[in-house]
Amino acid sequence: MTELRVKELKLSHFRSHKALVLAPDARPVAIYGPNGAGKTNILEAVSMLSPGRGLRRATADEMTRKPEALGWKITAILQSQHQMHEVETWSEGGASRNVRIDGKVASQVALGRIARVLWLVPSMDRLWTEGAEGRRRFLDRMTMSFTPSHAEAVLTYEKAMRERNRLLKDGQRDAGWYAALETQMARTGAEIHGNRLTALEQLVAAQAEAETSFPTATLTLIHPEGSDALMDETSLLDAFAQSRPRDLMAGRTLTGPHRADLFAEYTAKGVPARDCSTGEQKALLVSLILANARALKAQVGAPPILLLDEVAAHLDADRRAALYDEICALGAQAWMTGTGAELFTALGDRAMYLQVTEENGISNIQEGKV
């Protein structure tokens, strides 16, 4: 089987890690230690091997170890299918991060073509009960894992929309000022919508085909205009023009894929995810991450890297054991954190263990065991 995994990870002045070198194997990596020791910082560093701002959505300056450093650097040897890549990403003085792949300057989107990274973090536990923005971001991360160019489409759309919103706030009524921006928004908006629908189709298929101990979710992409809203390029271009009077009053764009929401239902019970118990909501999230991973494995030939922060929260012992079994069956390199080694007992010798402690603001790591 082809693999996608981190073979070596080096951190310099990243968060609580002044200097760190790890050489994991293909097994899951179980990281345990007290809160605040720096466990999540390791997962965040791995998440920076993919496009975007990482699993915490932090600024480059926030990731810099204070007070002695003016920047940070992450270096990794990444096995992607049958190829090895050296990936470097860093920031100096809080500036936007840079990327090099195999010694050559690269874009963040290029990272998405060689590394597929999925994550589940505690802040996502509120996904189904909070606003639509978080669910859109969750959907777009999954979509980007299937279609790396989705990130470029989203950035282009959002940039054009910000410029359109500026015109709206200024009260500009000349249609000529809007034409080019709305054309760009219609083109990329239709691409975004199509990519999202394709991703949902792949997730649905992966859930239907899998034998899993976790509940499946029925997923629907909805819009304020209704679930049958037309999101092709021609329809979007017309919608932007028609909505200008309303948008002028609001001072912002009120129609388009940036208003979409992801609705999820606990399939077996027919209950919306937002109305499920905390444990059921967590199980649905785990189920979707696993479905995403299985679909990616079918698409690219290797399972993605999984980052599961405090994954044991709200999962009982049986569910934890089932999760570990599914991760191992998938063959994914999963980086998992927890406060105690006992949370990973069901993994046995199927995992690599790291114990993290903190002293004087510096994280210390040693090989652990269960």
What structural domains and CATH numbers belong to the chain?
A: 1-125+304-370 (3.40.50.300)
pLDDT digits (tens, 9 = 90+) for 40-56: 999 999 999 999 899 99
Residue 27: pLDDT band with limits 50, 70, 90: very high
Q: Which strand ranges, in their side-by-side order, compose the sheet holding 261-266?
A: 217-222, 261-266, 271-272
Strand, helix or coil at 338? strand
pLDDT digits (tens, 9 = 90+) for 100-151: 999 999 998 899 989 999 999 999 999 999 999 999 999 999 999 999 999 9
DSSP calls for 45-113 = HHHTTSSSSTTTT--TGGGB-TTT-SEEEEEEEEEEETEEEEEEEEEETTPPPEEEETTEE--HHHHHH
pLDDT digits (tens, 9 = 90+) for 201-218: 999 999 988 888 899 999
| 188-196 mean pLDDT | 97
- Global pTM value: 0.92
Amino acid type, 73: K
- On average, the pLDDT of the chain sits at 92
Q: What Cα–Cα distance (Å) separates residue 199 from each residue in 71, 153, 219, 361?
A: 36, 15, 11, 42
In whole angstroms, what is the distance from residue 103 CA to residue 80 CA?
16
Alpha-carbon dihedral 135, 138, 143, 148, rounded to 10 degrees: 140
Burial of 289 (0-12, 13-18, 19+ CB in 10 A): buried
In whole angstroms, what is the distance from residue 249 CA to residue 245 CA?
7
In whole angstroms, what is the distance from residue 167 CA to residue 178 CA?
8
Alpha carbon 251 to chain centroid, angstroms: 30
Residue 370, pLDDT score: 65
pLDDT digits (tens, 9 = 90+) for 300-324: 999 999 999 998 877 889 999 999 9
In whole angstroms, what is the distance from residue 195 CA to residue 146 CA?
9
CB 19 within 8 A of CB 29: no
